[in-house]
Structures are given as structure tokens and as C-alpha cells.
């Protein structure tokens, strides 16, 4: 009798375990971004430049010692980041400013898997510069500088408020790159 009850319990337990799927854990995924289409607006104020930025971005003025400057922080809206944009009236040779901008890019060589640069040459608007795309797990995926080559120089550095994981940020970076290229194509000196 004890053997029959034991056999019945074992068969009941085995039959109760059957028919269920074994769940297999899925690898981690990242949220999909639903970003709006690229629409732009002109930004112009008292500073000696103007450009077009996406409507979803916000330009904030930067003050130094209580007075406004032509430095700007451009908040990148749903991309959760900022572009620090600096304006400099050149007092030193142009090479000093270009070398400084390139040295800032070089600081990321340790983490970058590739650095691509694109020249900007628009003689009709007197806009010359270089756009740097840093690939890999870097703190700043995009940097650039623009100049009129004689007296004015601007530079920009993009920072995202996220852990720099290139694979997961790639869709956001591709979206942002389109906006930055448009920014550089529409940048003009006043």
C-alpha cells in the first residue's frame, strides 16, 4: 500500500510538471525612441552669428560674471543632452584655436574606436571648419569648430546624459548627426 501511494504521488508530481514551457531569459534590450521628423527654426540674437536648429531643441544663454555672452548651451530635448557652443573673438593666430579644438578631440582617443572628420568649406559665407564624429564609448560623440579664418571662431561639443554605450546610443546619434550637419550648413556670420 505504501508503495502504491508513493508511486501515485510520483506520477502525480511528474504529470503536474509536464505541459508547461520552460521560460528562457531574454537578453537586455533598449527602449525604442520615437523622435519627431526633422523640422528647423532660425536662431538669431545679438550675437554675430545665426543658424537653424531643430524645433525640439532649446537655446540657453550663458553668463560670465553676471553678464551675457555669446556662449550658448543648446539643450537637445528628448535626446537628453546638451551642446556646449562657444564663441571666441580671436586675439591669437587661428592655429592656436584650431589646435585647441583638435586637442579636445584627441582626449577621447583612449575610448574611441574611430574618429571621422568632415571639412566644412563655404567661402561664400566665409564659414570654414571641421566636424568630428567620435565612435565608440566616448563621453562626447560629436565636436566641431567653425571660423571665418580672420577674427571669429566658434566650437561645439555634444554631451549626452547617458552612460556612453555606443551600440545602444547609435539610433540617437544618427538622428543627432542629421541635425548637426544641418546646423553647420546653415550657420552664418552676421
Q: What percent of the chain has pLDDT over 70?
A: 87
d(CA 152, CA 173): 28
132-189, pLDDT tens digit by residue?
A: 999 999 999 999 999 999 999 999 999 999 888 888 888 899 999 999 999 999 999 9
Q: Write out the three cell numbers for 147.
A: 571660423
Nearest CA to 170 among 118, 135, 143, 144? 135
Q: Tell me what pLDDT residue 114 has.
A: 94
pTM comes to 0.80
d(CA 61, CA 71): 6
Residue 27's SS3 state is: coil
* More confident call, 78 vs 68: 78
Q: Does domain 40-189 have CATH number 3.40.1010?
A: no
Amino acid at each position: 500500500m505504501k508503495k502504491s501511494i508513493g508511486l501515485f504521488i510520483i506520477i502525480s508530481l511528474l504529470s503536474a510538471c509536464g505541459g508547461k514551457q520552460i521560460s528562457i531569459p531574454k537578453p537586455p534590450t533598449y527602449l525604442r525612441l520615437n523622435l519627431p521628423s526633422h523640422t528647423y527654426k532660425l536662431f538669431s540674437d545679438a550675437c554675430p552669428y545665426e543658424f537653424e536648429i531643430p524645433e525640439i531643441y532649446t537655446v540657453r544663454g550663458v553668463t560670465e560674471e553676471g553678464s551675457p555672452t555669446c556662449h550658448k548651451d543648446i539643450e537637445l530635448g528628448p535626446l537628453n543632452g546638451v551642446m556646449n557652443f562657444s564663441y571666441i573673438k580671436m586675439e591669437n593666430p587661428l592655429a592656436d584655436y584650431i589646435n585647441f579644438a583638435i586637442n579636445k578631440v584627441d582626449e577621447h582617443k583612449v575610448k574611441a574606436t574611430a574618429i571621422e572628420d568632415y571639412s566644412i568649406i563655404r567661402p561664400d559665407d566665409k564659414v570654414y571648419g571641421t566636424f568630428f564624429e567620435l565612435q565608440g564609448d566616448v563621453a562626447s560623440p560629436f565636436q566641431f569648430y567653425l571660423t571665418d579664418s580672420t577674427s571669429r571662431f566658434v566650437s561645439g561639443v555634444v554631451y549626452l546624459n547617458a552612460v556612453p554605450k555606443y551600440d545602444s546610443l547609435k539610433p540617437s546619434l544618427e538622428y543627432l548627426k542629421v541635425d548637426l550637419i544641418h546646423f553647420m550648413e546653415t550657420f552664418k556670420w552676421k
